[in-house]
């Protein structure tokens, strides 16, 4: 009887320990549907100084300081994967469209043509043995070699944005992901340095829950000058263990930016809220 109790305790401890550490990896699985929604809300307060001509012109149009600018974006997407075929690869179809894209400045709506965006885009590709997506065609039209790499990079964005450690993570453990980026802009470079720290806080009912801390620094070249942005914020991530996918991700970042374009000094604060949710079946 004592041996049975001892064995039961060992099994209980082993099971509890197994639930506290897990290997995480984001990947698409065959014969699955991924239906996702992305929402972004950006609210800015901008102060302009140094150029009375521009400021007076804005005032005459009813735009007074501090200038408020708000942007909202909602995008729906779906990804459908097929049966595993030769070479251990399987087909994938990704569709997405913008349901909402709006901008207003000091209460005045700025018209944005969204006909093509709301019509949606369909991208066809396949998932290789390495788990990465390769784009084959857009809207039924074969992609040129010069564009294939860029489209494939966009399709793999979710997997690249969150790169978990290769070893099993324990509750309380953190990992840091640096995401530097250089984007050529009109003969100059737009430099982005972003850092995200993920902390595994719990594992329950088939999900892993992470706290997120994010910081960013961005330099944007504008007409021989530059605008500097920096920000920090927090968020939450939910990872489905059986689906090997992040199903819920939300962040809120407070941003400050400043810069001078000729005689016009720009100082601003902003808050950007973003979240995406996936339903997988």
| Best CATH choice for the domain 23-280 from the list 2.30.29, 3.40.50, 1.20.1740, 2.30.230 | 2.30.230
Domain ranges of the chain: 23-280
- b/e map of 265-278 (b: 16 or more CB within 10 Å)? ebebbbebebbbeb
The confidence score (pLDDT) of residue 225 equals 72
Place of tokens 């806080």: 201
The confidence score (pLDDT) of residue 63 equals 85
The confidence score (pLDDT) of residue 227 equals 80
The confidence score (pLDDT) of residue 273 equals 95
Q: What is the dihedral of CA 136, 129, 249, 278, to 10 degrees?
A: 70
- b/e map of 235-256 (b: 16 or more CB within 10 Å)? bebbbeeebbbbbebbbbbebe
Gap between the Cα atoms of 221 and 179, Å rounded: 19
Q: Which two tokens stand for residue 30?
A: 């065959």
By the 8 A CB rule, do 249 and 233 touch? no
Q: Count how many residues are written for the chain.
A: 281
**For the chain, which ranges sit under pLDDT 50?**
1-19, 146-148
Gap between the Cα atoms of 144 and 135, Å rounded: 10
In angstroms, the Cα distances linking 187 to 183, 191, 224 are 10, 13, 10
Q: What are phi and psi of 4, to 5 degrees?
A: -65, -45
Closest CA to 36 of 95, 120, 115, 102: 95
- Report pTM: 0.80
Gap between the Cα atoms of 161 and 154, Å rounded: 11
The confidence score (pLDDT) of residue 99 equals 83
By the 8 A CB rule, do 172 and 210 touch? no
The confidence score (pLDDT) of residue 2 equals 45
């Amino acid at each position: 009887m004592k041996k049975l109790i001892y064995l039961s305790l060992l099994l209980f401890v082993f099971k509890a320990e197994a639930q506290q550490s897990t290997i995480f990896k984001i990947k698409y699985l065959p014969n699955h549907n991924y239906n996702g929604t992305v929402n972004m809300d950006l609210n800015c307060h901008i102060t302009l100084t140094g150029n009375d001509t521009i400021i007076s012109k804005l005032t005459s149009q009813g735009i007074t300081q501090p200038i408020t600018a708000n942007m909202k974006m909602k995008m729906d997407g779906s990804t459908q994967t097929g049966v595993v075929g030769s070479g251990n690869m399987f087909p994938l179809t990704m569709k997405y469209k913008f349901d909402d894209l709006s901008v207003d400045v000091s209460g005045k709506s700025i018209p944005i043509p969204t006909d093509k965006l709301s019509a949606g885009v369909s991208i066809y590709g396949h998932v290789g043995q390495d788990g990465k997506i390769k784009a084959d065609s857009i809207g039924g039209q074969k992609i040129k070699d010069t564009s294939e790499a860029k489209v494939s990079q966009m399709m793999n964005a979710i997997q690249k944005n969150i790169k978990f450690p290769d070893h099993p993570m324990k509750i309380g453990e953190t990992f840091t992901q640096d995401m530097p980026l250089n984007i050529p802009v009109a003969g100059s470079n737009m430099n982005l340095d972003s850092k995200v720290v993920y902390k595994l806080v719990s594992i329950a009912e088939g999900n892993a829950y992470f706290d997120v801390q994010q910081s960013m620094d961005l330099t944007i070249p504008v007409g021989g000058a530059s605008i500097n942005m920096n920000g920090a914020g927090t968020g939450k991530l939910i990872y489905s263990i059986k689906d090997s996918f992040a199903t819920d991700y939300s962040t809120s970042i407070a941003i400050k930016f400043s810069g001078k374009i000729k005689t016009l000094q720009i100082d601003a604060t902003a808050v950007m809220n973003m979240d995406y949710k996936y339903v997988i079946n």
